[in-house]
Amino acid sequence: MAVTEDFLDLLPLFPLDTEAVVRARWNAWANEGLTPEDVEEWVDTREGAFFFIASEPGVREAARIYDLMGTEYPAAVFPLFSWAEYLDDLAAAYKVERLAATPASGEVTFKGPEGTVIAPGVVVGVEAAVEDAPIKEYEVTEGGTIGVSKEITLPVTARESGSATNAAAGQLTLLLSTIEAEDEVSVLNTDPIVGGTDPETDEALRERLLEVFQGKGPGNVHDYKVWARAYGGVGRVSVIPVWNGPGTVKVIVLTSDGQPVSAEVVEGLQAFLDPVAGKGSGQAPVGHTVTVETATSTDIKITAKVEFEEGYSLDGAASTIALEDDLLAALADYVTSVLPGEEIVLQKIVGRLIGFDGVHDVTEVKINGAAKNVALDDDPAEVGELAGTTELTEGEIP
């Protein structure tokens, strides 16, 4: 609630109604119209006296209410500053709902004797990286029978939701259900399991809600972005109008962290926008032929020489402050923020690195071995992912 907290610091509507001020008013009212000579009616308001002790809860509650009325209440009614359930209520008035978490999905390959039946509901999993950690489980959604090739590929979906259910290729190796077979059955995912997303954050919901107030048209680029981002599992959208001739629209969707969405999300959004090409039977206007795609990840290797101020370094040697992890995280965040059809810009990489306290200069920056920008394709769509071979080296200040 960082935005809201900043707002509360800057704009209290009742800044003078502190507990001390409320106490002073109560004390004054207790003897209003009286003088100290009115001994029998005069009330002792000093700290420790009966009136002070009896009225203290009321004074504190009144001051608390002034604080709430002057800060949180006005913030809660504006989309720009609202949060949590207050933001949900504001969004609901415009038929915008917070997106729930979604499970990852993909395909796994079972290998075993011919004729072995893999029923729907069979559970496979990822071996826990840490002892006693919970195993990530995935369920077969469509069954099948292993044929003469002695293998079969079937779709699976995570049994829970969230970004933690995404899995890299080769991680699903555990067979957690009993399968009747003449010989051992193994399982493996040759491709990543993708599409798992966390519940929509306040900032993402706020952004979508504010989009409602922007100008609309009969199926313009803005409309397609709003429609796509309202679909569960979608976080980022790139819209390419007239991509394959008049009346054609390509909608490229990614998760909120810039990764590919699952096939189920692509199919579901396609049916929502344009189930029958150009007929207007979905959200898209009549005459618009919409193609929904997600992107494939491509490795982006960045190399750079970083010159540090005194007291800073990559690895924290000699009691300096280590910055390597933070710098790599900044690069990964930038690379995944670039949408298909856009460029990963060399100078923006420099900007991300040099913005850190302790970084004096950045030189010899290359992307995939060359000192030039790299364009991400939009047909077929691709999205960048920081390669594990990315390397930062340490240089000396001249």
pLDDT tens, position by position, 125-134: 999 888 888 8
Give me the DSSP letters along 269-294.
HHHHH-SSTTS--SSSPTT-EEEEEE
pTM of the model: 0.67
Predicted confidence at residue 213, as pLDDT, reads: 75
* Mean pLDDT, range 344-369, rounded to an integer: 95
Comparison of pLDDT for 278 and 217, the residue scoring more: 278
- The contacts of residue 92 (CB under 8 Å, 6+ apart) are none
State the pLDDT at residue 182: 85
Q: Which of 83, 296, 300 is nearest to 201 (CA)?
A: 83
pLDDT of residue 217: 67
DSSP bridge pairs for 187: 110
User: In the predicted model, is pLDDT for residue 118 greater than 70?
Assistant: yes
Alpha-carbon gap, residue 313 to 360, rounded angstroms:
11
Pairing state of beta strands 123-126 and 151-158? Answer: unpaired
pLDDT above 70: residue 113:
yes
Largest CA distance in the chain: 109
Which band of pLDDT confidence, cut at 50, 70 and 90, is reported for residue 11? low
Domain ranges of the chain: 2-76, 105-188, 211-294, 297-395
Q: Both tokens of residue 181?
A: 């077979």
Which residues have C-beta within 8 Å of that of residue 266, sequence separation ≥ 6?
A: 253, 292, 293, 294
Q: Is the dihedral of CA 352, 357, 363, 364 positive or negative?
A: negative
The answer for residues whose C-beta is within 8 angstroms of residue 87's C-beta and 6 or more apart is 79, 98, 202, 205, 206, 209
Percent of the chain with pLDDT over 70: 96
168 CB neighbour count, 10 Å cutoff: 12
Nearest to 161 by CA among 213, 218, 99, 108: 99
Tens of pLDDT, residues 17-65? 899 999 999 999 999 988 878 878 899 999 999 999 999 999 999 989 9
- Phi/psi of residue 293, nearest 5 degrees: -140, 160
